[in-house]
Amino acid sequence: MRQLVLDASAVMAFFEDCPGAEKVEELIVRALEGKHELLMTAVDWGKVYYSILCTRGEDAAEEILAEVAQLPIEIVGSDVELSKLAAEFRAQHKLPYADCFAAALARQRRATLATADGDFAAANKQVTVLWVRER
């Protein structure tokens, strides 16, 4: 089954109803229909929590995490191999280190990376990128 890795920017677009939210919603619906699997790194999960915590406070951050838990998204923890791949992405493409985990998971699983973050244009030769909003 096809796998897609959602990075924090894609999940944030969905919850903040920003450009790209409709595309992420479509990916979620298709996952519910069994058409593909959605993955997200624990690092990106933490980035979503951090972003909401800083902008809207702890109650809102906890509410968003509870909503994420109800979605058909598998949260994947980081191990030594994933961390090594993330470090390689950082060294090769100068992406922010936290973002490198989504790219590393996509590469490791031979999955497509779904993102709203233009920084990933630098890595699109090593991973397939699905842009959830126009760049």
For the cut 90, the answer to whether the pLDDT of residue 64 exceeds it is yes
What was the pLDDT predicted at 135?
67
Beta-carbon count within 10 A of 134 CB: 7
pLDDT band for position 21 (cuts 50, 70, 90): very high
Q: How confident is the model over 13-36, as a mean pLDDT? A: 96
Q: What is the mean pLDDT of the chain?
A: 94
Nearest CA to 7 out of 106, 110, 109, 82 is that of 106
> Residue 50, Cα to own-chain centre: how many angstroms?
14
d(CA 30, CA 69): 17
**Could you tell me which CATH number the domain at 3-131 has?**
3.40.50.1010
List the domain boundaries for the chain: 3-131
- Three-state DSSP at 13 gives helix
pTM over the 0.85 mark? yes
pLDDT band for position 101 (cuts 50, 70, 90): very high
> Helix 42-56 and helix 8-16: axis angle, to 10°?
40
